Homo-oligomer: A and B are copies of this chain.
């Protein structure tokens, strides 16, 4: 407005006139900035890596190409699980990852992704954007020189693939299961022997019987690995991941050096890509699950006894960690306080509607 009226007063045509007066504003607000993004994922997990690509596309489009970010799959610039360090020390300006990959550095980081018997995807969004989640996770990652943004969610994951049925808690004793982090900690208290095995070795290990079970993501991603052929029992729910939030990490110096409009683009584009990720999983999991079942997968719910034992084991771990780790306690208390407040409400309108729809559609199927 101001620029326009100035031009009018000066009696210049808008086009020619702007060349003389507007360029410094342009140079300040729309500088050419070109970043790299590293990821913990590759094209073998197309929904996850696709969301990083969508983020970059939206930033570029909305800035008219002046701010571009090029996404690199895990391992190309830095190792897949080295995103936190690479962004923190500005090897790359930003990265896509899941904070619970850094469990070994601090289990408190898991509250930015998933913890056993935690929030579902909607509740997680609510804690992040309307509870204290955003504030507390920002504080948590500040010493790592990271500004974090939620960028998607898988929804509730599956409980994994098992060679034998899990009828009781006793069936977990000695079970060699590929799992890690917080889930591994809780499962080990229930007798499971967590195994760290690189992705390519999982299938042969299950085939040979040196591995009894594996947890991965959900139908869309699990289908590609063919587990149904060697470990047919497909359990649900993945109680250690009622949702799994994916994060965008931006180096703090790089972020604070951006003009405000570009900062707003990062905020919006990360939410945009995040919405797309969950929408994609929700749209494509149903058919993937049907194909898995047609291919021999036997769908099973964890018995109530197993769920209850896991719930108790998880909450014992929470108490232990909270007692010795003040950051963990701070995150835990906010996150679990939010959970205990929101879950009863979700049983009312939302849960009763979902349950009725599930029942009525099943009963009306031929």
Q: Is A164 an interface residue (CB 8 A)?
A: no
| Contact present for A350 and B284 (CB under 8 Å) | no
Cα(A26)–Cα(B65), bound, Å = 12
Q: Which residues of chain A in 23-39 are interfacial with respect to chain B, using CB atoms and an 8 Å cutoff? A: 23-27, 29-30, 32, 34
Cα(A237)–Cα(B359), bound, Å = 15
Q: Which residues of chain A in 189-244 are interfacial with respect to chain B, using CB atoms and an 8 Å cutoff? A: 218-219, 236-239, 242
* A130 partner, pick from B18, B284, B354, B355, beta carbons under 8 A: B284
Binding site secondary structure of chain A = helix
**A313 nearest CB across to chain B (Å):** 13
Most B CB contacts (10 A, CB to CB) among A279, A301, A342 go to: A279
Q: Which of A86-94, A247-255, A256-264, A320-328 forms part of the interface with chain B? A: A256-264
Number of residues on chain A facing chain B (CB within 8 A): 100
Contact with B along A330-352 (1 / 0, CB 8 A): 00000000111111111111111
A271: chain B residues within 8 A (beta carbon): 268, 271-272, 275
| Contact present for A358 and B341 (CB under 8 Å) | no
A62: chain B residues within 8 A (beta carbon): 62, 261, 264-265, 268
Decide: A355 near B351, CB < 8 A? Known: A23-B18, A24-B15, A129-B276.
yes
A289: chain B residues within 8 A (beta carbon): 345, 348
| Contact present for A283 and B18 (CB under 8 Å) | no
Given contacts A64-B259, A239-B356, A265-B268, 6 further A-B contacts (CB under 8 A): A61-B261, A122-B282, A129-B279, A219-B345, A236-B348, A285-B345
